[in-house]
Each structure stands twice: as C-alpha cells, then as structure tokens.
C-alpha cells in the first residue's frame, strides 16, 4: 500500500512539473518592451556601385548592411518599429550606371524624414592610411543639441564593447545636416586596422554592437516622449 501511494505521489508531482513548467517562448514574448511606440530608421551606408571602404575582399557596404540588420532585430525585440533605408546591395538610386552620390544622399534624407521617426542611425565603417588607427566613433550635426545628446548616449554604451578612446565629434555630413529627424552617424571601427577588421566581419560582434547601440538608444529615448506618427509617402528612386 505504501509503495502504491509513493508511486501515485511521484506521478502527481511529475504531472504538475510538466503542466507548470515555464515556457521560454512565452517568457520572451512577455518580456518588457522598452521601445514600444518608438520609430527608428537605420541607414546602412553606401551600397550598389558605392562600396565605401574596401580592404581586400572585405567591403564596407556589405558589412554596414549586416550590422544594420542585426541592429534592426535587436531594436524590434525591444518593441520598436524599425525601417531601413536599404535592405539589399543597392544604393537608393537603384542605378547600375552613372552612380551619383548627390542623388543617393538626397533620397536617403527624404526617406529618413518620410517615417517621422524618433531618431535615425547611419551605420558606417571607417578607414585610415595609418593601419594602427582604430576605434568606434559617433558623429552628430553640430547645431543640434539633441543629436549631441544622442551621440553621447550611444558612445557611452558602445565604449565597453569597442574599447574606443575616441570622443564624439560634430560633423557636417549631408545625412546629418539635411535631415529634420534627430540622428547620428556611427563609425563602428576601422577596416584598415587588422584587429578591428576581423571583429567587424564577425556576426557575433555585429550582435554585440547591436545590443550596445540599442542600449544607447534606449537611454536616450527614456528622456524623450514618443513622436506622433503621421502618414508617410513612399520615396521613389530618381529616374
């Protein structure tokens, strides 16, 4: 009789453990969505006929897109609505001839502003004639105090990952100067530095960068109320 009771008790415990076992997938779905109702645009630099910085067979435009896709995934996991200015190996003119940097940048600015986003991030990789030069760096438009604060928050979040000794810096880049949307340009590292090139080609490092940049964005947006979404119009390529 005692053995029967013990068997029944063990079976009952096993059933309870099975029924009430935490569902990992459910926990992930119910995780705190810290960027809900936030709209963020990611601008993967270069593309198409414009490869950006090249070192051997390593192309900046391809890595910019990979880092941007990792960043998009991370931001969406936190509840943000995320748009990319490009999601393939094309610039925004979609021309395979007579590449025009001016036209490409004009279309990027129009597309970024069309989403009425909380902010945008332009992702790039750096290059130098001095191979020992290294470190991530965040640029902002000098006349925008809000962009400077965003640059500071992202820089501070990236520093433990990249180890950079560089400081944020104001710049007159077209994509920063001509957008109405608050934004920064992030140089994730130098392709011309052997150590950084290896890191920047790694999908695991892309994930680390994505988490760090997202942390900086989260810190910044915690101080700012969400923008009011407005209807957007598609940006057509120039003929």
* Residue 28 belongs to a domain: no
Tokens linked to 211: 């988490």
Query: So what's the pLDDT on residue 28?
Result: 42
Span 176-186, average pLDDT: 98
* Residue 167 belongs to a domain: yes
Span 207-223, average pLDDT: 98
Span 46-53, average pLDDT: 94
* Residue 95 belongs to a domain: yes
Query: So what's the pLDDT on residue 233?
Result: 61
* Residue 176 belongs to a domain: yes
Could you list the residue range(s) of the whole structural domain that residue 190 is in? Answer: 36-221
* Residue 229 belongs to a domain: no
Span 38-67, average pLDDT: 96
* Residue 26 belongs to a domain: no
Contact (Cβ atoms closer than 8 angstroms) between residue 150 and residue 184: yes
What share of the chain has pLDDT > 70, as a percent? 82
Residue 86 burial by Cβ neighbours in a 10 Å radius (0-12, 13-18, 19+): buried
* Residue 78 belongs to a domain: yes
Number of domains the chain is built from: 1
CATH of the domain at 201: 3.40.630.40
Span 80-109, average pLDDT: 94
Query: So what's the pLDDT on residue 235?
Result: 66
Structure confidence by residue, pLDDT tens digits, 145-166: 999 999 999 999 999 999 999 9
Residue 29's pLDDT band (cuts 50, 70, 90): very low
Contact (Cβ atoms closer than 8 angstroms) between residue 125 and residue 64: yes
Query: So what's the pLDDT on residue 19?
Result: 45
* Residue 157 belongs to a domain: yes
Span 40-44, average pLDDT: 98
Alpha-carbon distance 65 to 85, whole Å?
10
Tokens 């941007």 belong to which residue?
Answer: 68
Alpha-carbon distance 206 to 224, whole Å?
27
Structure confidence by residue, pLDDT tens digits, 65-91: 999 999 999 999 999 999 999 999 999
């Amino acid at each position: 009789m005692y053995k029967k009771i013990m068997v029944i008790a063990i079976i009952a415990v096993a059933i309870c453990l099975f029924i009430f076992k935490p569902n990992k997938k459910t926990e992930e779905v119910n995780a705190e969505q810290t960027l809900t109702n936030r709209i963020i645009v990611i601008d993967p630099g270069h593309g198409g006929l414009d490869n950006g910085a090249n070192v051997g067979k390593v192309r900046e435009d391809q890595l910019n897109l990979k880092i941007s896709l990792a960043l998009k995934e991370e931001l969406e996991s936190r509840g943000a609505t995320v748009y990319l200015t490009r999601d393939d190996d094309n610039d925004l003119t979609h021309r395979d001839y007579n590449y025009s940097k001016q036209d490409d940048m004009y279309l990027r600015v129009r597309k970024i502003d069309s989403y009425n986003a909380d902010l945008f991030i332009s992702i790039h990789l750096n290059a130098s004639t001095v191979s020992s030069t290294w470190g991530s760096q965040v640029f902002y438009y000098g006349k925008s105090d809000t962009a400077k604060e965003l640059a500071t928050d992202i820089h501070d979040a990236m520093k433990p990952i990249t180890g950079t000794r560089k400081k944020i810096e104001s710049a007159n880049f077209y994509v920063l100067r001509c957008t109405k949307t608050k934004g920064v340009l992030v140089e994730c590292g130098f392709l011309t530095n052997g150590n950084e090139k290896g890191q920047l080609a790694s999908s695991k490092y892309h994930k680390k960068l994505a988490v760090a940049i997202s942390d900086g964005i989260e810190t910044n947006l915690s101080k700012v109320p969400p923008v009011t979404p407005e209807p957007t119009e598609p940006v057509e390529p120039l003929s």
